[in-house]
């Protein structure tokens, strides 16, 4: 038989296997004495999603269950559930419910998994005579299912045969959907409100922001979006959705793995989510119910704020390595970074905790079209903090830097001392003047001996100068420094 014919026949067999097994699934559940709960019993579901691929599910169902021992199969849990975190409780009578055993069945019913379970067992092979149309049935033993089906029928061995295979039932440990089976004891009412809560992977969220600068780069509009991703293996219909922003500590297991622009306007921040403090984290709650289907990505509005004051800076950053020895030329056309920063304050039309994410910044050209001008990551940012974004490097503002003097001053006692001088020429091709902030990280115990522009010390190892560069012109910064360490 050709390979293509073999695979065609095998596919037909597997499809027949699946439907035959599925039809017998309900009967198999009944034989085990299980009480099956499906999504039709579900009355509400709450989903709390954390930043690091972790979610808390609270699934409330109304179930008719007799007092005494029970064997409850809770269908449609997450396929990535952490079963050791599962907790079943009765809302009506919390003390009347006791769980003594639970089993998570993650070996799902498929044609291949059904065949795997029947290795060494008997099945029936159904074949139709193409000439007469008469269907015949033969008993067979499944010998192997690796890279194809191997059957023993009477006194012969057959592989890749046409026809279909039927099974007596579905093995107890095969499920068509992820299922958590719990055994225990119940006292009290027969109609129960049972809530199953558990942690799961496969659910994640992240924040994305879109900012638009005005013509003068002095204000911006900001909108925020939350992207939810569900790959957990089940859907959550009409769920109460909450998001936790913050770095929650988790114990790592030991190698076990089972753009839209908004309308402008002078208004304060608006959001479709409410937020509150949760210990040392922040909890965001969607104000309406939403459905997250399996294998779906969904965007939800987080905030919308207009007219936020911003500050733009051009920053030239140096390096501490050239203060130890002579170097001469330190580079032509050194890049000047473009920095935009704003304060997350209510007085500046913002003032809410911002989850970490990417802020993408746009600005309109002379034709009124929004053009992308850069992006940067922000970490979790509480209110009243400053957000600082590096958008890129200036095209029109460059700098040439060189060391014009260097000498080593040996003062003994294992103390090194150096004196060096530098010249930085900044050029501006723009039609308006700009201010360049020069930041030089200087090592050890240092002192500026001479300078063409006054400096200040923002931190102990940095000297900073503000240099105005005229339109279509240049400015030169010169300084001499002595370092000791």
Residue 218: closest CA among 305, 339, 308: 308
Residue 192: CB atoms within 10 Å: 22
Question: Could you give the CA distance from residue 50 to residue 205 in angstroms, rounded to a whole number?
Answer: 7
Q: Are the C-beta atoms of 203 and 352 separated by less than 8 Å?
A: no
Residue whose entry in the numeric block shows the structure tokens 């114990």: 251
Beta strands in 409-472 (DSSP E): 417-428, 434-441, 445-451, 455-456, 462-469
| Coil/strand/helix, residue 262 | coil
Q: Residue 365: what pLDDT?
A: 92
**Which residues are CB-contacts of 108 (< 8 A; sequence separation ≥ 6)?**
79, 174, 175, 176, 177, 178
Element (H, E) at 111: helix 111-117
Residue 373: closest CA among 385, 365, 384: 365
Q: Are the C-beta atoms of 301 and 272 separated by less than 8 Å?
A: yes
Residue 50: CB atoms within 10 Å: 21
> Edge-to-edge, what's the strand order for the sheet holding 311-317?
445-451, 473-484, 417-428, 386-408, 334-343, 311-317, 434-441, 462-469, 455-456
Instruction: State if pTM tops 0.95.
Output: no
Element (H, E) at 192: strand 191-200
**Blockwise average pLDDT, block size 10, the chain, 485 residues:** 40 45 44 81 95 91 91 92 93 90 78 80 86 86 85 85 79 78 87 93 94 94 94 93 78 47 37 68 87 92 92 94 88 93 91 91 93 94 93 95 91 82 96 96 94 95 96 97 91
> Edge-to-edge, what's the strand order for the sheet holding 203-213?
296-309, 219-230, 203-213, 357-364, 370-378
Residue 437: closest CA among 306, 282, 312: 312
Q: Residue 131: what pLDDT?
A: 85
Dihedral sign computed on CA atoms, order 316, 317, 319, 323: positive
* H-assigned helices in 309-447: none
SS3 of the chain: helix, strand, coil, percent, to 5: 10, 55, 35
| Coil/strand/helix, residue 269 | coil
Beta strands in 93-178 (DSSP E): 97-105, 122-128, 135-144, 150-153, 156-159, 164-166
């Amino acid at each position: 038989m050709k390979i293509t014919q073999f695979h065609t026949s095998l596919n037909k067999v597997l499809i027949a296997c699946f439907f035959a097994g599925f039809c017998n699934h309900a009967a198999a559940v009944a034989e085990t004495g299980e009480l099956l709960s499906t999504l039709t019993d579900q009355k509400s579901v709450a989903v709390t999603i954390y930043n690091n691929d972790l979610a808390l599910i609270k699934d409330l169902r109304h179930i008719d269950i007799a007092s005494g021992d029970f064997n409850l199969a809770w269908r449609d849990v997450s396929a990535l559930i952490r079963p050791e975190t599962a907790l079943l409780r009765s809302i009506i009578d919390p003390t009347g419910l006791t769980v003594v055993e639970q089993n998570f069945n993650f070996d799902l019913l498929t044609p291949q998994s059904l065949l795997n379970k029947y290795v060494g067992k008997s099945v029936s092979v159904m074949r139709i005579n193409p000439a007469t149309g008469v269907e015949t049935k033969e008993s067979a033993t499944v010998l192997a299912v690796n890279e194809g089906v191997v059957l023993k029928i009477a006194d012969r061995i057959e592989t890749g045969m046409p026809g279909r295979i039927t099974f007596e039932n579905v093995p107890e440990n095969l499920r068509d959907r992820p299922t958590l089976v719990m055994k225990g004891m119940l006292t009290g009412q027969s109609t129960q409100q049972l809530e199953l809560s558990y942690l799961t992977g496969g659910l994640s969220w992240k924040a994305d922001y879109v900012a638009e600068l005005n013509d003068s780069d002095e204000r911006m509009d900001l909108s925020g979006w939350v992207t939810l991703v569900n790959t957990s293996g089940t859907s959550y219909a009409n769920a109460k959705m909450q998001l936790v922003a913050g770095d929650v500590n988790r114990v790592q297991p030991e190698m076990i793995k089972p753009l839209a622009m908004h309308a402008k306007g002078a208004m304060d921040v608006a959001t479709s989510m409410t937020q509150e403090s949760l210990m040392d984290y922040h909890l965001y709650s969607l104000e309406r119910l939403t459905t997250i289907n399996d294998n779906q990505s969904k965007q939800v509005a987080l905030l919308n704020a207009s007219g936020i004051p911003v500050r733009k800076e051009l920053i030239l950053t140096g390096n501490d390595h050239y203060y130890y020895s002579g170097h001469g030329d330190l580079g032509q056309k050194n890049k000047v970074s473009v920095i935009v920063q704003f304060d997350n304050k209510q007085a500046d039309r913002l003032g809410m905790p911002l989850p970490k994410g990417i802020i993408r910044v746009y600005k309109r050209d002379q034709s009124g079209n929004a053009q992308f001008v850069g992006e940067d990551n922000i970490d979790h940012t509480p209110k009243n903090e400053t957000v600082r974004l590096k958008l890129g490097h200036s095209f029109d503002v460059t700098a040439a830097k060189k060391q014009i003097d260097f000498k080593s001053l040996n003062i003994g006692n294992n103390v090194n001392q150096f004196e060096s001088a530098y010249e930085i020429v900044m050029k501006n091709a723009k039609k308006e003047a700009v201010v360049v902030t020069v930041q030089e990280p200087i090592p050890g115990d240092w002192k500026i001996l001479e300078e063409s522009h006054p400096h200040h010390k923002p931190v102990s190892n940095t000297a900073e100068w503000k240099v105005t560069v005229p339109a279509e012109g240049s400015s030169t910064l010169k300084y001499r420094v002595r370092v000791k360490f």
